[in-house]
Amino acid sequence: MKSCTSIALALLQAAAVYSLPAELERRQGLGGLVALALGKAMEPISRTKLEPEIDAKATREMLVFGPFKMLSSKAPSHPSKGMAGGIKIDPNSDTQATMLGGICKECMVLAAKMETSDKTGQKIGITEGIYTHHFITIDMGRNQVPNPVKSTCPPKSASAKPADHSHGRRQLPDIATSGLFGAGMSVFVGKGNEAGRSVFASTNNTVKSGFYVSGKDKMYMTAELVNYEPEDRDIYVMIDYEYIPSTDGKRPADYMDVGMGAIAVDGCLVTSLAPPSDKAIKYKSPDWDVTHNGYLVNIAPHLHDGAMDINVYLNGNKICTSNAIYGGDREVGENYGAPIFSGAPIFF
């Protein structure tokens, strides 16, 4: 059995050779979400064809959705809209939630990226007065591929106090693994303010992998955004994604399914870590025992303000370092679609 260690929260895209049980536990509090799923999906206001970057035979396009209303920074309050209205963590944020239409069906998605934008699809960020706390898009109908690692978190007591800023809440453990109408749910895009993509395949790789969207799946999006401008405004949401259409309406048998999960430095996804004010500190995670064979497709580090880097180790050997770069609100580089490991694919 092999082990994996990291030094901060990381989102993992992993292709696995196992599946969830047929019967998934139902959760409470999803009434509003169910009603939203039964309603009419928002269709994109524009669709633009782009050059594929992972597979030359794939289709890549940019969809723009909206408008979404944002309250002024001077608004007396930014009330929560409930579960169906989006997950709210920042008291100054506005949440957005909708079902998304227009995304491909019976297709194998290779990568997807979601950003706040104007109506043309041009990114809007801090420079334009918009801060993205998080985006989460869930495929309702697709079973979640679980993290192929053994949990290191001890059972939580009934009296345990929740953290002030919980990544466990952000990861939607109840929603993303629960059933809706007897079907599973799977995270399609999950990101904070970092500008990374959800990558489900590698370029020039003999291992075929992706995120399959069936004809019956529904896409639910929730976003938490902060408007720093002193007036109300409309914003839009852009999705840039690349996919291979199914030729026969069925999932390609030679492609492995990829799922997204998260592991945190504390091992539990629920701890808010407050570093000392007078010195630098390094956090080291517990070891995670890898329990299933598969391929690690991508690692997307998520670091809060002040963090410098994240290092990932496999069996004691460093395999990845990601350094934080401060001073702007635009990405400074993105190794889009490149395999995280060079050489032959690695089995755990």
Structural tokens at position 214: 């069936």
In a domain, 332, yes or no: no
φ, ψ dihedrals at 31, nearest 5°:
-55, -45
Measure Cα distances from 348 to 118, 149, 257, 314 in Å: 43, 10, 16, 9
HEC profile for 233-301? Answer: EEEEEEEEEEEEECCCCCCCCCCEEEEEEEECCCCCCCCCCCCCCCCCCCCCCCCEEECCCEEEEEEEE
Residue with tokens 């945190």: 264
Distance between CA 65 and CA 43 in Å, rounded?
7
Distance between CA 10 and CA 177 in Å, rounded?
19
In a domain, 337, yes or no: no
Strands 256-263 and 10-16 come out as: antiparallel
End-to-end CA distance of the chain: 8
Structural tokens at position 336: 């889009």
The pLDDT value recorded for residue 257 is 87
Distance between CA 190 and CA 336 in Å, rounded?
16
Helix (H, G, I), strand (E, B) or coil at 190: strand
One-letter identity of residue 107: C
In a domain, 88, yes or no: yes
188 and 146 Cβ atoms separated by less than 8 Å: no
Distance between CA 98 and CA 96 in Å, rounded?
7
What is the distance, to the nearest Å, from the Cα of residue 170 to the centroid of all Cα atoms in its chain?
10
User: H or E stretch including 33?
Assistant: helix 31-38
In a domain, 38, yes or no: yes
In a domain, 199, yes or no: yes
In a domain, 206, yes or no: yes
In a domain, 37, yes or no: yes
The pLDDT value recorded for residue 333 is 52
Distance between CA 199 and CA 12 in Å, rounded?
9
The pLDDT value recorded for residue 338 is 41
Q: Which residues of the chain have pLDDT under 70?
A: 1-38, 82-84, 155-183, 193-195, 204, 269-272, 328-348
Domain that holds residue 222: 2-152+163-323
Q: How many domains does the chain divide into?
A: 1
In a domain, 340, yes or no: no
Please report the beta strands in the chain, taking only residues with DSSP state E, as ranges in sequence order: 2-6, 10-16, 46-50, 59-70, 94-100, 107-117, 130-140, 185-191, 198-199, 209-213, 218-227, 233-245, 256-263, 288-290, 294-301, 309-314, 317-323
Distance between CA 221 and CA 140 in Å, rounded?
11
Residues in the chain, total? 348
The pLDDT value recorded for residue 102 is 97
The pLDDT value recorded for residue 192 is 72
Helix (H, G, I), strand (E, B) or coil at 105: coil
